[in-house]
Structure 1
Amino acid sequence: MNATPILCLALGQHGVLDTAAAALSGWTLCPAKGLAEARRALRMRPAPVGLLLFDDHPHGEDALDAFLREHWYMLWIAVFHPPALLLPVWRRLVQEHCWDFHTWPLDAARLSYALGHAQGMASLRGGPPGGAGAPGSPEGAEGPLSAPDAALTGHSAAIVRLRNQIGKVAGASAPVLIWGESGSGKELVAKAVHLCSPRAAGPFVPVNCGAMPASLIQSELFGYERGAFTGAAREKRGLIESAEGGSLFLDEIGDLPMELQANLLRFLQEKTICRVGATRSMEVDVRVIAASHVQLQQAVQRGAFREDLYYRLNVLALDVPPLRERRDDVAALAEHFFRLYAAERAPRLRGFSARAMQMLREHDWPGNVRELINRVRRAMVMAEGRLISAQDLGLADGVTGPDGAPLGDARSRAERDAIDASLLRAGSNMTVAARALGVSRMTLYRLLAKHGIPPPSRASQP
């Protein structure tokens, strides 16, 4: 008995489950009647391979397409009646999502061979990504990590130290000052501080000090009374007030105008604010978390930032490491973003090639985590193969092979040489050559077209 589970999903009449169970008596099948039951089954017992069983023309293809995208990491084998292949929508689903397909009536020996091959390939990948739940599934036990988790993913010394520091400062009520390069994840670290604090149930209000017009910062931060200025038809709560009981995140605090820095200092000292046009102050209970990509101490020396405000903010300091200092985390981050944006990927995409992962680790990442997200999302849409390549990530330029030729040229030449050698050994027999290369006949024909190699004459074909 093969103990590795196979999800056996029946769409349509459920009698096909009994037929499949009788034909596959040596396999461990997890039956599921419909997509909802299949999701529940996969949460309880993840399976690397799935069997799709249809007893009539398939329907509900949009729901099925969404389900298969959610469970992209599984290898699926479809079983249906031959007329279904006449439907273009079904041919597309099979081409995009299925490892193999079979038709009724079942050939038990052939189907068992296909299942064994699929399980062997699945074992090379390891278990399902992201734990027990189906990645990206809205009903999954875990689903994708939250945004704060994304910034803190990894096991490098730098990120472990940052996680420990967040745990220490979160319980305090003093202001926090976060420094980090652009794109390193300062706002996500600020959210992590908020979510780990006693204020987690309160609001988290982000304010980009560098993007807000100087003429509006005063009224936006502190609010205003009705009639305070032309156009103030009614009173308005400021952003500081709206963060009552929670955390106010002042991003790029170094861009705050000097006159506003004085007002912010008064708020930090007295825990009160005064709306524009108001005659009295009001108390507010807000924790301030500030961040900057410039060193504020140097800004103080230049006279661009108030020294007293700097020391008032810099009570608890956190430094977010740039991505180049946590290269050991790059692979985990890339896999995380692949799961997080799974709905955007090309349907046949299954992950990253080994070369792509190597290039990810070797890149200097001047744009930090933001650059990594952009490269991964773009590659997920543009990739044409089953695995994201270094070229898809835009990281292959300038890399050379052992003879000094560009890496892409060296790889293409090696691929062509392997095809030529296999065809020669196989006596121009496409079936034998494809088997030796570990690809299908259709893939071999595509490779021949790609490299401009004329296919063997039909006389040499089986």
Structure 2
Amino acid sequence: MLKGRYLVLIEDDTLMGSSLVQRLELEGATVTWLRQVVRGIAAVRTPRRPVDAVICDIRLPDGTGEDIFSAVSRSMAPPPFLFITGQGEIDQAVRLLRAGAADYLTKPFDLPTFLQRLSLVMRPDVANDMPPQAGISLLARQVDSLVLAAARHDMPVLIRGQRGLGKARLARRIHELSDRRLAPLVTIDVFRDESGERAIAAALDAASEGTLFVNGIGRLDPAAQRRLMAAIGQVDVRVIGTCGTRIDEKIAAGRFRSDLHCALVANEIVVPPLSQRIEDAVWLAGQMFQAFGPRRQTRLKGLSELALAAIRDHDWPGNGREVRSRLLRAIDAARGEWIYPADLFPEFNLDDREVLTLADARERAERRQILKVLAQTGGQIGEAARLLKVSRTTLWEKMQKLGI
């Protein structure tokens, strides 16, 4: 029943925790067991792999399960939470259900009942059977899982992230996997199209029973925002919006409606930048080479090991768009059978290129390595510190110094 599932257990009672872990692992699940609020938040926010469910005690030594659920929900669409509660905490559990938690169990309970309730709250395990869309890293696969989850419901969705991360492609995928896929997908690109109140009204009519996708929703003018907010829940159209990373600043400045944001952010998908998942930059370059390489008259064998190393060392501030533009240039510029670093990064060839001090070069190298290991561990600072062979405190101080 639980084979291949990844579960996070947050329980401070040693006897109950060890009993649950033993049974869950016998059922085939992989379990991360934590005993504190602060570690529980980190394990759910930046997991080793997409989390299928969180089993969480309400009363913990340094806070409550509600603290964990609230903290996670502020930054992402949370995985299903199954809360464990005592008789005196039922009111709190009911409040959590109203806030979006999946279910709760009161102590004491028997293990067959626990397993049955757990199986009911978990989402279907389809992400691992689908080809990767956002990438192959743990963070990217979590994005893919959230996209699949969004396709199974009909609520508004907000896809948030920097430019060049394929947010529009993810929005189209949600529509294509949803029950509305046979109806129209109408797109308004605020960066290019007319996007005033009349344009929104016309798009809502055209998307009847389908999906309205607003690319750059944070740039809509007040009248268009008002028209869109009035339509949510009132017309038979599913709304998907994309925005950058500074939408909160627009809300604080009064340039974006807080009620519209609340309607969208309940099902938010945050796409991490490529700087946090360098292996996805390598994967993306490989995918693009397969697509664009055959167009060249003189066929190339592929990306050299030196080119792959250069890709891993680059921060990719332009994300996927930069990968595409650099690879297209490299395919045209390559003179041998392989693509080399100078084909991807022509700035390497400049005679007047920047000369770094040893201290600056060391800082850049340390920053790249820390980002690489954090991506490998899904943001787990403790595990990253172990791999880098430094203390957690040392790693944290370096991250602060290097702006990570």
Output the TM-score relative to the length of structure 2.
0.52
Conserved? CA contact 2:165–2:271, under 8 Å: yes
Query: Paired residue for 1:363, among 284, 291, 314?
Result: 314
Spell out the pairing of 1:12-23 with structure 2 (5 A cutoff). none
Give the Å deviation of 1:213.
4.3
Question: How far does the alpha carbon of each residue in 1:134-171 deviate from its partner, in whole angstroms, 9 at most, with x for none?
Answer: xxxxxxxxxxxxxx9674232x1110111111222210
- Which deviates more, 198-207 or 359-368? 198-207
Question: Which residue of 1 is the match for residue 295 of structure 2?
Answer: 344
Question: Which residue of 2 is the match for residue 249 of structure 1?
Answer: 213
Say which structure is richer in helix: 2
Partner SS for 1:341: helix
**In structure 2, do the counterparts of structure 1 residues 174 and 364 end up closer, same or farther at CA, with 3 Å as the change threshold?**
same
Query: Paired residue for 1:158, among 130, 139, 162?
Result: 139
Question: How far does the alpha carbon of each residue in 1:30-76 deviate from its partner, in whole angstroms, 9 at most, with x for none?
Answer: xxxxxxxxxxxxxxxxxxxxxxxxxxxxxxxxxxxxxxxxxxxxxxx
Give the Å deviation of 1:380.
1.1
Give the Å deviation of 1:199.
1.8
* Aligned residue type for 1:250: V
**Residue 264 in 1 paired to residue 246 in 2?**
no
Give the Å deviation of 1:179.
0.4
Give the Å deviation of 1:181.
0.2
* Aligned residue type for 1:255: R
**Residue 295 in 1 paired to residue 227 in 2?**
no
Give the Å deviation of 1:204.
2.2
Conserved? CA contact 1:176–1:318, under 8 Å: yes
Conserved? CA contact 1:346–1:382, under 8 Å: no
Spell out the pairing of 1:214-293 with structure 2 (5 A cutoff). 217-222=196-201, 238-271=202-235, 285-293=236-244
Conserved? CA contact 1:167–1:196, under 8 Å: yes
**In structure 2, do the counterparts of structure 1 residues 350 and 315 end up closer, same or farther at CA, with 3 Å as the change threshold?**
same
Aligned partners of 1:189, 1:174: CA distance in 2, in Å? 16
Runs of 4+ in 1 over 6 A off after TM superposition: none
Conserved? CA contact 1:179–1:186, under 8 Å: yes
Aligned partners of 2:181, 2:218: CA distance in 1, in Å? 26
Partner SS for 1:270: coil
Partner SS for 2:248: helix
Aligned partners of 1:313, 1:202: CA distance in 2, in Å? 21
Aligned partners of 1:151, 1:395: CA distance in 2, in Å? 29
Aligned partners of 1:150, 1:379: CA distance in 2, in Å? 25
Aligned partners of 1:330, 1:386: CA distance in 2, in Å? 22
* Aligned residue type for 2:210: G
**Residue 387 in 1 paired to residue 368 in 2?**
no
Give the Å deviation of 1:325.
1.0
**In structure 2, do the counterparts of structure 1 residues 358 and 391 end up closer, same or farther at CA, with 3 Å as the change threshold?**
same
Give the Å deviation of 1:243.
2.0
Aligned partners of 1:298, 1:353: CA distance in 2, in Å? 43
Aligned partners of 1:393, 1:188: CA distance in 2, in Å? 25
Conserved? CA contact 1:177–1:317, under 8 Å: yes
Give the Å deviation of 1:240.
2.1
Aligned partners of 2:328, 2:132: CA distance in 1, in Å? 15
Question: Which residue of 2 is the match for residue 199 of structure 1?
Answer: 180
Aligned partners of 1:350, 1:182: CA distance in 2, in Å? 31
Conserved? CA contact 1:344–1:380, under 8 Å: no
Aligned partners of 2:169, 2:291: CA distance in 1, in Å? 15
**In structure 2, do the counterparts of structure 1 residues 340 and 201 end up closer, same or farther at CA, with 3 Å as the change threshold?**
farther
Spell out the pairing of 1:10-409 with structure 2 (5 A cutoff). 151-154=133-136, 156-213=137-194, 217-222=196-201, 238-271=202-235, 285-394=236-345, 397=348
Conserved? CA contact 1:346–1:381, under 8 Å: no
Aligned partners of 1:393, 1:182: CA distance in 2, in Å? 20
Conserved? CA contact 1:176–1:313, under 8 Å: yes
Aligned partners of 1:150, 1:221: CA distance in 2, in Å? 32
Aligned partners of 1:192, 1:383: CA distance in 2, in Å? 34
* Aligned residue type for 2:332: V
Aligned partners of 2:139, 2:303: CA distance in 1, in Å? 25
Aligned partners of 1:254, 1:264: CA distance in 2, in Å? 12
Conserved? CA contact 1:346–1:384, under 8 Å: no
Question: Which residue of 2 is the match for residue 63 of structure 1?
Answer: none
Conserved? CA contact 2:204–2:237, under 8 Å: yes
Partner SS for 1:248: strand
Give the Å deviation of 1:346.
4.6
Question: How far does the alpha carbon of each residue in 1:219-257 deviate from its partner, in whole angstroms, 9 at most, with x for none?
Answer: 3332xxxxxxxxxxxxxxx22222223221111111000
Aligned partners of 1:367, 1:318: CA distance in 2, in Å? 20
Aligned partners of 2:156, 2:228: CA distance in 1, in Å? 12
**In structure 2, do the counterparts of structure 1 residues 395 and 245 end up closer, same or farther at CA, with 3 Å as the change threshold?**
farther
Unaligned 5+ runs, structure 2 = 1-129, 359-404
Give the Å deviation of 1:378.
1.4
Give the alignment's Cα RMSD to 1 decimal. 2.3
